[in-house]
């Protein structure tokens, strides 16, 4: 997709002038790396939607099923690689540092691909697929073991004919400190963002000159309020989404198309200067 030249030139002028830039990314950015969004038509795991499984209630009722779902997600993400939108944002962060600009990347994604691409100023709003939290003592640790416990080996197939594994709770991931049941360290539906995260967000949005919104419909709060807030305070908001979203009416610039194409072009980063993303394997 070729972006409108006049639109790009106008945006480039704003980009050059901005001194504090914040980016908000969502599932659409990682979808271009082959990671399912679990949203919209066909966005199911077996017969379940993410909104049904990614809840404290679902975990209390059936921790085995929820861990199967997250084991499947970890398997998918483990094979995924950053795409040009991830690499472009990492390169842009370095440019901002060289120019003495303030840059922060707020992501709703839990896959860690921004860090894998080289971004360092990242706030993971919804936690990380690669961290666990103990339901008993609260200990949070990074865990990249595959599978995370022996009982999940070969489990988590997404097709509707796959039976639930019904793993006994004592065979699910356990805390190495107190042997309590572990859960994914992610923010589930009905849960609040951590206070530390909220403080980092407030700092990133305060006096923000330019907010880039990429690959997210931004309909879930508090992220749904970021574009309206920056816009109301006089900042510029630019949207990078394939389709119109609820946030679009608060955006000064709207770049339609895959973010892997539109972000590098709008940020002035040639694709041939970015690392090449290998094609996904047939079994990914």
Query: What residues act catalytically?
Result: 126
Query: What is the Cα–Cα distance from 211 to 259, expressed in whole angstroms?
Result: 15
List the one residue out of 184, 194, 198, 195 whose CA is nearest residue 156.
184
Query: What is the Cα–Cα distance from 33 to 267, expressed in whole angstroms?
Result: 20
List the one residue out of 240, 252, 247 whose CA is nearest residue 215.
240
Q: Is 103 annotated as a binding residue?
A: no
Q: Is 29 annotated as a binding residue?
A: yes
Element (H, E) at 265: helix 259-266
Query: What is the Cα–Cα distance from 164 to 179, expressed in whole angstroms?
Result: 24
Q: Is 42 annotated as a binding residue?
A: yes
Q: Is 109 annotated as a binding residue?
A: yes
List the one residue out of 131, 127, 129 whose CA is nearest residue 143.
131
Q: Is 216 annotated as a binding residue?
A: yes
Q: Is 130 annotated as a binding residue?
A: no
Q: Is 41 annotated as a binding residue?
A: yes
Q: Is 112 annotated as a binding residue?
A: no
Q: Is 157 annotated as a binding residue?
A: no
What are the binding residues for substrate?
A: 70, 73
What are the binding residues for NAD(+)?
A: 26-45, 108-111, 215-217, 241-243, 259
What are the binding residues?
A: 26-45, 70, 73, 108-111, 134, 137, 175, 178, 215-217, 241-243, 259
């Amino acid at each position: 997709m070729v972006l409108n030249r006049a639109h790009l030139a106008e945006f480039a002028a704003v980009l050059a002038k901005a001194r504090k830039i914040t980016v908000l990314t969502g599932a659409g950015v990682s979808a271009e790396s082959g990671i399912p969004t679990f949203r919209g038509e066909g966005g199911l795991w077996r017969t379940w939607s993410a909104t049904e499984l990614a809840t404290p209630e679902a975990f209390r009722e059936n921790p085995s099923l929820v861990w199967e779902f997250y084991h499947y997600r970890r398997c998918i993400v483990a094979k995924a690689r950053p795409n040009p939108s991830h690499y472009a944002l990492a390169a842009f962060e370095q440019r901002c540092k060289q120019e003495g600009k303030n840059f922060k990347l707020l992501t709703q994604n839990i896959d860690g691909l921004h860090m894998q691409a080289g971004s360092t100023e990242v706030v993971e709003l919804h936690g990380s697929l690669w961290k666990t939290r103990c339901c008993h003592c609260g200990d949070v640790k990074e865990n990249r073991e595959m599978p995370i416990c022996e009982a999940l080996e070969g489990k988590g197939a997404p097709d509707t004919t796959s039976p639930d594994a019904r793993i006994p709770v004592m065979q699910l991931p356990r805390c190495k400190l107190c042997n309590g049941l572990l859960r994914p360290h992610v923010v589930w539906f009905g849960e609040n963002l951590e206070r530390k995260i909220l403080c980092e967000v407030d700092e990133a949005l305060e006096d923000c000159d330019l907010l880039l919104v990429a690959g997210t419909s931004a309909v879930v709060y508090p992220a749904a309020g970021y574009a309206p807030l920056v816009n109301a305070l006089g900042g510029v908001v630019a949207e990078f989404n394939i389709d119109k979203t609820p946030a679009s009416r608060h955006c000064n610039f709207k770049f339609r198309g895959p973010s892997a194409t539109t972000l590098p072009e709008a940020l002035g980063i040639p694709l041939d200067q970015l690392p090449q993303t290998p094609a996904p394997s047939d079994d990914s």
